Structure formats: structure tokens, C-alpha cells
Structure 1
Amino acid sequence: MVTTIKLNDDLKARIHRLADQRDRSAHWIMREAITQYVEREEKREAFKQDAMRAWNDYQANGLHVTLEEADAWLAKLEAGEDAEPPKCHE
């Protein structure tokens, strides 16, 4: 599939300069930039959807862990302990 994109002269020059510095084609630089952007935005959207599901679950059932409980668990993991996550409660 062929896609066309219009770029201003300044951005085109910057892309070509970077391509020369990296010994890559301008096409490769643009394709890589778009790929990285799409992957980052897909991850951001997945994170947002996970947060919305968690919020909806909390509103439906009230189950949660406190900041202190989560922090204590994370401290154990950081110390290298194989700790189970805290149990959710109301």
C-alpha cells in the first residue's frame, strides 16, 4: 500500500539530515517514527482501557487495596522477595 504525506520543508530537511547522520533512508526514518508512534499510542490506549475496566469493577463491587498495602507489597518485590499481592477487600 502506498500512502502519501505532505511535510513542510523544514521537517523534510530535518528528516533528511537525520537520515544522513544515521546512514538510513528518509523513508526508513519516517516509517520507524510512525511505527514507534503507533506502538506507543496503542499501549497508551490499552493502559487507559485497563484503568477504565478497573474503575468500573471498583464501582461495581467496591473491592480494593489501600496505598499502604500496595506499597508494602511493592517494597517486598523490590527487595527480591517472592510476595503474593495483597487481597482485595471492601
Structure 2
Amino acid sequence: MATSIKLDDDLKSRIQHLAELRHRSAHWIMREAIRDYVEREEKREAFKQDALNAWEAYQNNGLHLTLEEADAWLAKLEGGEDDGVPECHN
């Protein structure tokens, strides 16, 4: 699929400069930049959706961990202990 995009002269120049430094084409630089952006935004959207789903689940069932419980669990993980995810409670 061919797509066109209008860029101002400054941005075109910057892209061309990077392409020369990396021994790549300007097309390759732009394609990689767009791919990286799309992947980052997809991850951001998935994170946001997970947070919304977790909030909805909490509102429905009240299950949670306290900050102290989560911190203690993360400290164990950091120390190499993996007892599994702590059980949530009301």
C-alpha cells in the first residue's frame, strides 16, 4: 500500500541527515519511526484498557491488595523470592 505524507522542509532535512548517518534510506527511517510509534501506542492503549478493566473489576467485587501488601510482594520478587501473586481480599 502506497501512502504519502507531507513534511515540512526542516523535518525532511533532519530525516535525510539521519538516513545518511545510518547508511539507510529516508524511507527506511520514516517506516521505522512509524512502526515504533504504532507499537508504543498499541502498548499504551493495552495498558490503559487493562487499568480500566481492573478498576471495573474492583468496583464489582471489591477485591484488592493494600499498598503495603503490594510493596512487600514486590520486595520479595526483587530479592529473588517468587511465592506467586498474593491473594486479593475485600
Question: When the two structures are superposed, what TM-score results if normalisation uses the length of structure 2?
Answer: 0.98
Which letter does structure 2 place at the counterpart of 1:9? D
Aligned position for 1:18: 18
Aligned position for 2:7: 7
Number of residue equivalences: 90
Which letter does structure 1 place at the counterpart of 2:85? P
- Distance apart, 1:85 and its partner CA: 1.6
- Distance apart, 1:82 and its partner CA: 1.9
What is the aligned-residue RMSD (CA, Å)? 0.5
Aligned position for 2:49: 49
Aligned position for 2:38: 38
Aligned position for 1:66: 66
| Cα deviations by residue, 1:57-88 (Å, 9 ceiling, x for unpaired) | 00011000001001101100100112222111
Gaps (5+ residues) in structure 2? none
Percent of counterpart pairs with the same letter?
74
Which letter does structure 2 place at the counterpart of 1:43? K
Q: Aligned equivalents of 1:30 and 1:85: distance in 2?
A: 42
